[in-house]
Structure 1
Amino acid sequence: MTDPPQAPQEPSERQLHPLPTGLVELYGLLAVLFVLVPEWMAGGLMLGLQGRQQRQLLAPAAVAWQRLPELRLASMSLAELRLLARRLRLCGYAGMARERLAARLLRRLRRRKAL
C-alpha cells in the first residue's frame, strides 16, 4: 500500500525559521550606526548653527535697516506693528491686516519724517 498523497500546506501552517540572535543584533547595530548616529550629528549641528546665527548681527545691512522704514516694518511681527501703531497713535489698528497696517504705519512714518 502506498501512502496517501499529502495535501499542500497552506501558508499559515508553514513553519518559519527565526533569524539567529547574532544576526538580529548585527542588524540593530548597523541601524544605529547608519541611521541614528548621523541624525544625532545633524541635529547637534543645526542647534550649533542656530545659536551662532542668533548672536550674529548683519553689520553691512544695519545702516540700511536704520534708514529704510520699509525694512524695519517688514521684519516686525504683527504684535510689534500694533505696538508701534499704538505709540504713533494710529486709530483703528487692532482690526487691520498686517499689510494694511504696515502701509499705514509707513505713511505715518514718512509724514513725520517730512515734518
Structure 2
Amino acid sequence: MHPLPRGLVELYGLLAVLFVLVPEWMADGALSSLKPGGVGSALPPTATAWQKVPELRLASMNLRELRELARALRLWGYAGLNRDQLTRRMLRKIRSKRGKAL
C-alpha cells in the first residue's frame, strides 16, 4: 500500500485541529468561567434545603462520603452495602436519632 501524500496528511492534521481541539479549548474556557468561588459565578448557591433535608444531602454525596458518614454514625456492616442499601440504613439511623432528640 502506498503512503498518503504529504499534503493530504497535513490537511487531515489541520482538520483535526479545527474540529477537535478548537471546540475543546472553547468548552474549557466556558467551563472555567463557571467554577464555584469565582467572582460573579453564574451558578446558583446551594439551597438551604440541601443542607437540612437528609435525603437530599445523602443523594448529593458520592459513595466514599457516604461510607465515611456511615462510619461516623457507627453503622455496622456498611462496607458491604451498595449505595441504595447504605442510604436506606443511614436514613433510618438519622431519623431514629432525631426521634430520640425530640
**Structure 2 CA distance for partners of 1:46 and 1:108, relative to 1, 3 Å:** same
**Aligned counterparts, 1:1-115, within 5 A:** 25=7, 27-28=8-9, 30-55=11-36, 58-59=44-45, 61-114=46-99, 115=101
CA-atom RMSD, angstroms?
Answer: 2.8
Paired with 1:44 and 1:31, the residues of 2 have a C-alpha distance of 19
TM-score, normalising length: structure 2: 0.70
Higher mean C-alpha deviation, range 69-78 or range 38-47:
38-47
Work out the number of aligned pairs and report it. 94
Q: Percent same amino acid at aligned positions?
A: 40
- State the alpha-carbon separation in 2 of the partners of residues 52 and 108 from structure 1: 40
Q: Deviations over 1:50-109 (max 9, x none)?
A: 3334425532x4212112211111111111101001111111111111100011111212
Unaligned runs of 5+ in 2: none
Partner Cα separation in structure 2 for residue 89 and residue 111 of structure 1: 13
Runs (4 or more) in structure 1 with deviation over 6 Å come to: none
Equivalent-residue separation in structure 2 for 1:53 and 1:89 (angstroms): 38
User: The residue matched to 2:79 in structure 1 has which SS?
Assistant: coil
Q: Where in structure 1 are there 5+ consecutive unaligned residues?
A: 1-20
Name the SS for the 1:49 alignment partner. helix
1:52/1:30 Cα in 2 relative to 1: closer, same or farther (>3 Å)?
same
Which structure: larger Rg? 1
Distance 1:32 1:112 in 2: 63
